Structures are given as structure tokens and as C-alpha cells.
Structure 1
Amino acid sequence: MSKNGSVPRLTDNADDKAAKSWIGSSMTLGALVGALISGPMAQFFGRKKALIAYGIPFTIGWLLMAFARSVTIIIIGRIIAGFSAGLLSGTAPTYVVEISIISIRGFLGACFQLCVTIGILMVYVVGAFIDWNYLAGIAAVPTLLMAILMFFMPETPSWLISHNKRSEAEQSLKSLRGAGSDTDQEMSQLQEQTKASEQGQSFSLALYAQKFHLCPMLLGLGLMFFQQFSGINAVMFYATSIFSESGSSLEPKIASIIVGVAQVFATVAGSLLVDRLGRKILLSASGALHVLSTAALGLYYYCIGNDATNSDFGWVPLASLVVFIIGFSIGWGPVPWLMIAEITPDMSRSATSAFATAFNWTCAFFVSKYFEALKDAITKHGTFFLFSACSLLSIVFVVLALPETKGKSSEEIQEHFGGPKNTSGRNDGLLKNGNNPSSAGVEMDKLNA
């Protein structure tokens, strides 16, 4: 603990272990609150203004950590930064889906997770050479850049239309599609769809009495549950300690960097494959890799028992976690965020994204806060066997419950859940194939998808 205003240093005694668990999990508590209000904020202020505003508390949180002289201030800083992360994760995927066209919707949606993995790798690399408080100060820079650069981005046309700002929506669409694009027909269709979606009413929880609003929300909660109970936050938050206590032959910091590099490259691969192979294939493959890697790690801990001095198989933790991260990065990392925005109707998208994101962070809190306690209760190997079992259930969930959204318009996806059928007479064949990108009608459907 800190003395005389110095930077806090934590040891392995019981009090400091408790402090570590709160430091590791406190960010998720703030994210839970942020996620709950992200929907109303993005809907009221607009996606663009909301993303700009999020940079303020984000920067404050990092600076509090950078200048902290007690564990309490560190935790407060992490809660504020987590609050901002919850806001961001509830709004950014929606923004991306609403400005993208169908042919690259999956790729752009997966880029959200790619940016997260790049950030994690940067923390691992820079953190290997400098103290954590300097690292927190550096982390404030990207949050400021986000707020500044969002000033130069357009608001989403669908949000502008839903708030009766037709001229601004047309300008936004032209900036996204090209100044020479003919957007008159597209704007007209966008207005018609928005009017049909709202049916003369504003959003209310009563919408979830309708199947095509309720089913996407339930599936979204399932996606977030299995994402977190794969054990991802336990792996990322405690990667260095896992290597330290497992008897790995590599220096823990170097091993963590290797895991971070594997995560980035695998996320790039997943981003490129998501529009080619489809969402369900990637999620199933991801789950299978999770089952194998966490089971292998559990078996390793079972075989070595409490003897962390046996380095004959010190490569197993690194290999297992690399496989785990590759699996997560191609499927369960990026795809859930993308699919929630894809499968949810316009009218309930902000609220469903907020509920799902809040649930995600709730699960993340329990996994990260009680990971150490779980290891004490059911042993290290039992904990990783539990994660393996959850990943096996995730495959069943994907195969039996999830629809495939690859190449489908929003109307087709809503029809799958019993929503209103497309009666506009548009040629959906062009939509699926991504042909004739200059066509206003086709661009309209791509936008709403």
C-alpha cells in the first residue's frame, strides 16, 4: 500500500489481494452503469454527440489513476473509466452498423473489437517498460483523440431522419456514400421505413411484448453471457499472474505480449472472414477452440498440482492461452457486438444494445471479481474446466438458437423473428450480392441493415 503519498505498491498479503480484486473488477461496475444509460443518451443526443461527450469522463478517469496516491483513488478512476467504456461499448457498434453498407457491415462491426485488442496489446507492451501510473496517463491520449476526431464524422442518417432532420440526413448520407450519389429515393424510403417502424409511438418497454423485439434482446443477452463466461476477462486481467504461478518457462510480461500479438492478428483474420464465412461458423469454431484451450489449461493445473516448479511443460499455459485468444478473437470477441446491432429492429436497437451491454459488464464483473475466489473454492483446474463447460454450451446455443445474418437485410432478419414482411417490392437479390452500389434503393437497405 502507499506511504507518504507515494505510488501504491501491492503485495501478496490478504489485504492487498482483496485490493487487487477490486482494482481488477471495479471498472466493470462503472461500465454496467454506463451501458444502461448509453441507449437513452445515444437516442436523445445522437450517436455522434454522445461519442464526443464520452471522451470527457474517460480522460478524467485515466488522469485520476495517473496521479493516484492511494488504492481508493485508483478504484474511483477505474470506475469512471469503466463508466465511459460502458457508454462507448453501448453506442459505437450501433453507430458503425448505421453508417455501413451490407457488403462490409461485418468487417466494420468487427473492427470495434480489433481496436480493443490493439489497445490491450499496447498496454502489454508499454506496461512492460514503465510504471502503471505513467501508463494510465498515456491511456488518456486515445480518449481525447476519439472526442476530437468524432467532430469530423457525420451523424447517422437513420438517427437524423428519426428526428425529422431530413436535410441534415441527406448531407450525412452524401458524405458517407459520395457527394455525387443520388439520395432522393433513398431518403424517401428511409422516411417510410422509420415511420412504419415507429408506428406513431416512441420507444417503450411495452415493445418487448412483441416477438421480433423480445427475441433479439434475449439472444443478445445469451451472446453476452457466453462471451464473458468463456473466461475472457479472467484471462486478460490475470494473464501475467497465470504465467507466474503456473511455472511457465517464459517471463510473464513477455508471455502476455505474445498473447496480445496473437489476439490482434486473430482479430484481423476474424474481421476479414466474418462476411465470407458467416457469423455462426465463426462463433462455433471460436467456442471449440475455447473448449480445447481451457480444458488443456485445466488439465495442466491438475497434473502439476501445487508444484509450480515443474517447468517441463511450462509452454502449456502460453500455448493454451494463445489458442484461447485466437478462438476468442475470430468469433466470440467481435461477433456478439455486431450481431446485436444486426438482429435488433431500429425502434428498440438503442435500448437492446444498452441492456445487452449492461449485462455483459455485469457478467464481466462477476468473472473478474471472483476469479481468485473461484480458484480457491474449486481449485485452479476446476475453474478452467468450468470455463470449458460453459464454452461447450455456447456451441449448442449458436447451433440451435442463433440465426445467420450474413448478407441479410434488416427486413429479412426481422421477418425471421416474426416482424413485418417487406412489401416494398425492392430487389433483395441486389442487396444480398452487394451489386449496383450506386443504386439509391439498394443503398437504403444497406444503410438500415
Structure 2
Amino acid sequence: MVLQASTEILACVSASAFNFASGATIGFSAIVIPQLQLSDSNINITKEDISWIASTVPLVIAVGSILTGILVDRIGRTNTIKVAAIPYVIGWLCIAMAHNLAWLLAGRLLTGLSMALSNNPAVVYVTEVAKPKHRGALICTQTTLLSLGVLFMYIKGAFLHWKTICWISMSYCILPLLMM
């Protein structure tokens, strides 16, 4: 009984763990923009660029959610969540290697797409896998992990250069991917 409950909880937390990565993606604009505004930044940005950096992720989530529905129907919830790791890693790689605004925005688009690909099916997965007595708590872990991802990004932003943060952020989808 305990082993069955632990397996169920581990499966749900694994799927929900991508929300930590999503939180990091959301919080990134708050730490990268001030660093890009410094005089020694290798990427010069305007006020309009700042708007694009901050809004790219939410813009792509709407489109990504439609794609997610199609993928969930074709390859299933778990595989869709696993596929989400691909644009996440590539997106952070683009941002880490960015020497201009275009690469930074391309990376933000990919990490935003990854959010849509992972978060929506994770909710469905937890709802279907969790027993009723655990379901509420396990669904709430998603929001908690998202908030922790944002908070952790803010903490890192106080101490690390944004490119270093990108390299670290790539790893956030690896552990949940291995656990699934």
C-alpha cells in the first residue's frame, strides 16, 4: 500500500516538476533585463526590446497550448511532457549563446513553447493518475513548484550573470525527464 502510494506520488511529482522549469522561464525576464541594461552588456537593448523580452513567453504559450492538445491526442500525456524537454534545452542554449536580441527572443520563444507542452498535460496526467485522496495536494504541487522556480530564478539573478543562469536552467527539465 505504501509502495503503491509512493509510486503514484513520485509519478505525479515527476510530471509536475516541469513547473519549476516554467517558473524559471517566467522569472528570467526580471533578472536578464536589468543585466542587459548595464553599460558593459554585450547586447544593447531599447525600451521596445525590453517589452519583447518580457512578453515573448506569454505570447507563445497561447499557440503552444493548441499544439499541446494535438500532441496529447496523438502521442499521449507522458510523451508530450517528455517532448517538452527538447525546446526547453534548445531555448536555454539559444539564450546562453545569444550575441544579439534575435537569439535571445528565439530562446524565449522555445522556452515558452516548452511551458505549454509540459504544464497542460501535467495537470491532466496528475488528475488521471492520482487517487482522489491525494489528487488535490498533488495538483497544488504544480503551482508551488512554479512559484519556487520564479523565486529561485530571482535569487540566482542577484548573484550570477544571466548567461551562467541559462546554463543552470537547462538542467531543470532533466531530472523530471529521467524520473518519468
TM-score computed with the length of structure 2 as normaliser: 0.74
1:111 corresponds to which residue? 141
> What SS does the aligned partner of 1:41 have?
helix
- For 2:44 and 2:146, locate their aligned partners in 1 and report how far apart those are by CA, in whole Å: 27
The answer to whether the aligner puts 1:141 opposite 2:178 as a matched pair is: no
Q: What are the Cα deviations for residues 183-220 of structure 1, in whole angstroms up to 9, with x where unaligned?
A: xxxxxxxxxxxxxxxxxxxxxxxxxxxxxxxxxxxxxx
Aligned to 2:43: 8
Matched, 1:64 2:94: yes
CA distance in structure 1 between the aligned counterparts of 2:47 and 2:143, rounded to whole angstroms: 30
Which residue of 2 is the match for residue 79 of structure 1? 109
Provide the residue aligned with 1:437 in structure 2: none
Moved over 4 A (4+): none
Work out whether residues 83 and 117 of structure 2, in 8 Å CA contact, stay in contact via their aligned partners in 1: no
Amino acid paired to 2:43: P
Q: Which letter does structure 1 place at the counterpart of 2:159?
A: F
Unpaired runs of 5+ residues, structure 1, are: 11-15, 151-449
- Residue 38 of structure 1, aligned match among 68, 91, 96: 68
Letter of the 1:24 counterpart: A
Distance 2:42 2:135 in 1: 45
Whose radius of gyration is greater, 1 or 2? Answer: 1
Q: Flag the 1:9–1:128 CA change in 2: closer, same or farther, 3 A.
A: farther
CA offsets, 1:410-444, max 9 Å, x none? xxxxxxxxxxxxxxxxxxxxxxxxxxxxxxxxxxx
What residue number does 2:32 align with? none
Does the CA-based 8 Å contact 2:68-2:121 persist in structure 1? yes
Residues 278-427 of structure 1: matches in 2 within 5 Å?
Answer: none
Whole-angstrom CA distance in 1 between matches of 2:166 and 2:109? 14
Query: In the alignment, what sits opposite 2:26?
Result: none
Q: Which residue of structure 2 aligns with residue 95 of structure 1? A: 125
One-letter identity of the residue aligned with 1:7 = N
Quick one: which amino acid aligns to residue 154 of structure 2? Answer: Y
> Quick one: which amino acid aligns to residue 127 of structure 2?
V
Residue identity opposite 1:119 in structure 2: G
> 8 Å contact 2:78–2:121 — kept in the other structure?
no
Q: CA deviation at 1:88?
A: 1.3
Instruction: Verify the 8 A CA contact 2:56 2:108 in the aligned structure 1.
Output: yes
Which residue of the partner structure matches residue 311 of structure 1?
A: none
Task: Tell me, in whole angstroms, the C-alpha distance in 2 between the residues paired with 1:99 and 1:80.
Answer: 28
Number of equivalent positions: 142
Percent identity of equivalent pairs: 30
**TM-aligned CA deviation for residue 121 of structure 1:** 1.0
Q: Which amino acid aligns with 1:138?
A: I
Structure 1 contact 65–74 (Cα < 8 Å) conserved: yes
Match of 2:77 in 1: 47
Task: Tell me how far apart the structure 2 counterparts of residues 9 and 77 of structure 1 sit (CA, whole Å).
Answer: 17
In 2, Cα distance between equivalents of 1:85 and 1:146: 14
SS in 1 for 2:84: helix
Judged with a 3 Å threshold, the aligned counterparts in structure 2 of structure 1 residues 40 and 135 are, in CA distance, closer, same or farther, namely same
Q: Which has the higher helix share?
A: 2
Contact persistence 1:55–1:143 (CA under 8 A): yes
1:126-149 deviation digits (Å, cap 9, x = unpaired): 110111121112111012222222
SS at match of 1:68: coil
Conservation of the 8 A alpha-carbon contact between 2:85 and 2:174: yes
> Quick one: distance in 1 between partners of 2:138 and 2:174?
22
